Structure formats: structure tokens, C-alpha cells
A and B are shown apart, each in its own frame.
Chain A
Amino acid sequence: MSVRHGLLVLLAEQPRYGAQLRAEFERRTGGTWPLNIGQVYTTLARLHRDGLVRPHDGAAGDRKEKEYAITPAGREELRIWWASATLAHPDPRDELTIKLALAVEAAEVDVRDVVQRHRAEGVRRLQELTAIKRGGVPDLSSELVLERRIFDTEALIRWLDHVEERLQAKEDR
């Protein structure tokens, strides 16, 4: 995802200033994607260049900062974005995946130890994430972002369990 679409989502609700966009984007993404104000203005300039946003005149005229509003073309861009599936492909060259693939035939390591080391680290991360969740998160958006990390970590551990079972089955044959 690009910051472009994030800003368009917020501008589709109401015209906003750069600083407002920055604060709102950070809040709505559970604090996982802090933007610097320069990034916000660069993105707004590009959105303006592409005709997706325009400076908005409705605000107090003496304020130096520009307020921006979404254009009809911006709404169309956003409609297409909402309507498209944005699933990322798992990286087949992910380092852990490659490490374990190599460990299967490597003589100098016990692949089950490699599995366990990563599983233990995954569990440690799950403990951290669960502690954050247990401490309370301010809103549903933040909670969903946090839970995505929990599910991802959980999936990794499940895959490691699967690897261990496959290794055991191979050994038992």
C-alpha cells in the first residue's frame, strides 16, 4: 500500500491540512506507520499533480499551511483501490524459509534445533504482543493491526510445527 491511498481515504471524509493528515493517519493505523510531515507534503504534491486532490479554499485565509480536498478523480482512484484485492504474495526467498530448506540436508546443524530456536523466538514475540493487547489498545483499528501481527506470528509457529512433524515423519520412515 502507498501513503497516497491512505491520504485519499482521509481526504474523502473531509478537507484536511497536512499536519491533520499525518496525525489522523498515524492514529487510524494503530501507530504502526509514523509519517514525517515532509512525506505528507511530498505525497500531497504528487496527488495534486495527478489531479487527485486540490487545494481547498474554505479554510481560514491567513493560515500559511494549505488545506487539501479530494477531487472526483481522487474518489474514482479510491473506489478502485477499495474494490481491488491487495493480498501480498509470501516471499519464497524469505530468509527463514531458505535457512530451513538448506538445513534439511546440511550436515553441520540439527534442523530440529533450528526449528526450535525460531519457534521459541516466535513465542517470545507472541508474549510481547499479547502483553500489549492485554494492557489495552485505544481503538478497534489499533487492535486489528496488533492482532494481524499476532496472527502472522502464530502462522509462523504453526508452519514450524508442521516442519517438525514432516521431519519426524521422514525420520520414522
Chain B
Amino acid sequence: MTRIDDARSAVPGDARSAVSDDARGAVPTTVLAMKGVGRRFPDGQTTRSVLDGIDLEVTTGRLVVVMGPSGSGKSTLLRLAGGLDTADSGTIEVEGHDLARCSAAELAAVRRRSAGYVFQELNLVRSLSLLENVALPLELDGIGLREACRHAVRALGDLGLDENIARRRPEQVSGGERQRAAIARALVGDRRLILADEPTGALDSRTGDDIMRRLRDRVDAGAGAVVVTHDPRHAGWADAVVYLRDGRVVDRSTGGSAS
């Protein structure tokens, strides 16, 4: 079985992490636990293994980056973690909810309340303001408009987007602001797991760094994150980096010194 170590235990001496734990004053809790996860896709008369024996545990305060060549299974791993696809083997738990045992309605609830997903193409609703986009998942969860907006303003503010920008529609803001809004939508409310697929897209390196810095800050404030990327620059912000090849983990890097 392929193993990805617990992102927390993988970096025992990481000063940055220790500081963030102290700052939060909270014991890290597991937000994602994947055990022995496999996924096969049809391939002609047979099936092809896309992921095999993946173990991954992510706790609050930890940012895990997943890297690997095209077709290595990175996006499949993320989709499984987000309940957007179903594993053929193994178990996936998001904040203690076993996704395989969830009904469709329960799965939708997990996605709304626990796991926020940042899509590569962002998927912001063009006709809505950033604020409405971010409030939307809460409204869908039955939270009143006023309360949903209050949470959305805070989530956007955490990512450096003030109310003036929040009132604009996606095409009226910069690419970096759209990306930040997509992350805010993924984290609004009490969701503590963020799953991001190439979250800085084609942004320039400075804006990309700003996105990663804010994502890192949000993680340090009490979320856990899995970021799938082909961009080595993002790995610099991670506590642990896992490398996939042909659906298996071939290696991992743990955190560097913060000195």
C-alpha cells in the first residue's frame, strides 16, 4: 500500500507550525482522512487504475501540496476528497463523515459545511457579486440571507477583499481578486477543509504568491488544505508535499526550517 504520512507528523520540528498551533491555542483536528483509497476508470474492455492505495491525513493548521505529472492522479485524488467522485476502494472521511456511507443529500451537506472546493476554472457565478457568490453555499444550506452575508463579508475580508470589491461581479475585478473570492467561497462559514486545484491558475508570480500567502494564513487560523498543483513555487508554502506518479505516492517532502 502506498502511504502518504500524516501531514502533521511529517513535520515534527516545523517552527512555523508550532507557532501557528500556539497562536490558535487549539489542538489540531483531522479534517480529511483517506485510507487505502483506490479509483479505477474504464479503459476499453478493462479498467485502468488511476489511484491506488492512497493514505492521506490532513489536520487543521496543515497545508499539503500534491504534485505530479499530468495523468498521475492528482485531480482525481482531490475530487474524491471533495466527494465529487466515488472511490472504488478504501475509505475517505471528511471531519469524521465517511463519504461512502453518506446519502446524496448528506454528501451535499458535507460539501456545503465541511469541505470547500476551489475549482481550476473557479466556477464563480457571473451574474452575482463576489459577496453573493460567497454567501451562496450558506444560503443553500438554509442560512438566512443576512447571516450568510455576514459570514461572506468576513470570509472575503480574511482574504483581503473589502466590501467595496465584494459588491462587484467577477468580471469587474482582477484575476487575483477572483481567485481570492473563490477561496473565500470555499472557506465561508465553518468549513475547515479547503481543496484547491491549481488555485493560482495563470496568475503572475507575485499575485500567485499573494494568493498562497492568504491561503496559508487561513490554514494557520484553523483550516486544513490540500492544494493540487504543477507549480513548484506553491510547494514552498506547504507543510508537506506528496508526489504522485501513475496513481501512487512515490515520495514526500516535509517542511523546511522556518529560520
Please judge, given known A-B contacts A119-B243, A134-B216, whether A127 and B235 are in contact too, CB under 8 Å. Answer: yes
The DSSP consensus for interface residues of chain B is mixed
The DSSP consensus for interface residues of chain A is helix
Say yes or no for B83: interface residue by CB 8 A criterion.
no
Please judge, given known A-B contacts A122-B232, A130-B237, A134-B216, whether A161 and B69 are in contact too, CB under 8 Å. Answer: yes
Nearest CB of chain B from residue A115's CB, rounded to whole Å: 10
Say yes or no for A50: interface residue by CB 8 A criterion.
no
Are B236 and A127 neighbours in the complex by a CB distance under 8 Å? Answer: yes
Are B233 and A154 neighbours in the complex by a CB distance under 8 Å? Answer: yes
- The 10 tightest CB contacts between A and B, nearest first, are A130-B236, A127-B256, A128-B256, A157-B232, A126-B236, A131-B258, A123-B253, A123-B235, A120-B253, A154-B232
- A-B pairs under 8 A by CB, number: 69
Please judge, given known A-B contacts A126-B235, A158-B232, whether A131 and B16 are in contact too, CB under 8 Å. Answer: yes
Interface residues of B (CB under 8 A from A): 16, 67, 69, 205, 213, 216, 230, 232-233, 235-238, 241, 243, 245, 250-259
CA distance A56 to B232 in the complex (A): 50
Please judge, given known A-B contacts A116-B243, A131-B16, whether A126 and B233 are in contact too, CB under 8 Å. Answer: yes
Interface residues of A (CB under 8 A from B): 112, 116-117, 119-120, 122-131, 134-135, 150-151, 153-154, 157-158, 161, 164-165, 168
Are B256 and A124 neighbours in the complex by a CB distance under 8 Å? Answer: yes
Please judge, given known A-B contacts A116-B250, A128-B257, A165-B69, whether A123 and B232 are in contact too, CB under 8 Å. Answer: yes
Cβ contacts under 8 Å, B237 to chain A: 127, 130, 134
Are B256 and A120 neighbours in the complex by a CB distance under 8 Å? Answer: no
CA distance A126 to B241 in the complex (A): 11
Please judge, given known A-B contacts A135-B258, A164-B69, A168-B69, whether A129 and B251 are in contact too, CB under 8 Å. Answer: no
